[in-house]
Amino acid sequence: MGTAVDIGVFRDMARSVTKAAGLGVGEIEVRRDCLELPAWPADLAGLRVAVIADLHAGSPQVDEDRIDRIVERVSTESVDLVALLGDYIDPEVALGEWIEPESIAGRLGRLESRLGTYAVLGNHDWAHAGARMGQALREAGIAFLENRAVEVEGSGSGFWIAGLGDLMKRQADLEGTLAQVPANVPLLLFSHNPDVFPRVPPHVALTLSGHTHGAQVDVPVLRNKVTPSRFGARYTGGHIEECGRHLYVSDGIGTSRLPVRFRAKPELPVLELRPCTNASH
């Protein structure tokens, strides 16, 4: 019992110290971006997607109450769709604690949107909870996509969402998953890890990823080395366009290893998707 109390005290101290130093997970910025996408149709113009990535729940700054507040914040945005991009659980952050996957998923299951919530898993989910995390999401009413594609109806002519297995801990079967989608339909791709993006074909309207934490400790000279990607800082965060293909990487909310962020403020992106109006695209 004494040990538990001592850890709780240290956890509270970590919250206070990192907040005072501007290094922790402070107020989450709602980042509203409008993306013009060549493969997005006019009858779906204005679709709004809330993106929740990298909670790493169990770290000193992301407990169950914090998840509740995030859910409440998303619900005030009146979005059409919620994208959950993995790494929901991580008790191994310094001074972290174990939170049951069912508790995390149950809270995320209260997210409100017109067309529902869709999720993939990340490397920390598989490392710490295994298949239990995906099962908990399913039981909470969330569509869990592991190398699986589904049609979303009720918005314009409808569209598809494809979700990949984690690139580090599972098989990210890009080709097999995209083969499940009919030709010439609007398509969003969810992948926790953005390193799949160079292989994504141009008919995918938008790839959504997390994992990189905006480098988490974003020091210009070091960011190329600390970003957890084989491409260095190439996919650190934000809207990225390569050869007419579009990727959005969220900086996410939580932390890995150390409960510290620097120049990588936790964010909750709300993306408005529109077709391109620029002929050069």
Q: From first to last of the 281 residues of the chain, give the pLDDT tens digit.
A: 444 445 554 455 444 444 443 444 557 888 899 999 999 999 999 999 999 999 999 988 889 999 999 999 999 999 999 999 999 998 987 777 999 999 999 999 999 999 999 999 999 999 999 999 999 999 999 999 999 999 998 767 789 999 999 999 999 999 999 999 999 999 999 999 999 999 999 999 999 999 886 655 555 666 666 666 676 667 787 899 999 999 999 988 877 666 666 556 788 999 999 998 764 44
In the structure encoding, which two tokens stand for residue 254, read together?
């939580």
| Residues 260, 23 contacting (CB under 8 angstroms) | yes
Do residues 36 and 281 lie in contact, with contact meaning Cβ atoms separated by under 8 Å? Answer: yes
Residues in the chain: 281
Q: Which domains does the chain have, with CATH numbers?
A: 2-275 (3.60.21.10)
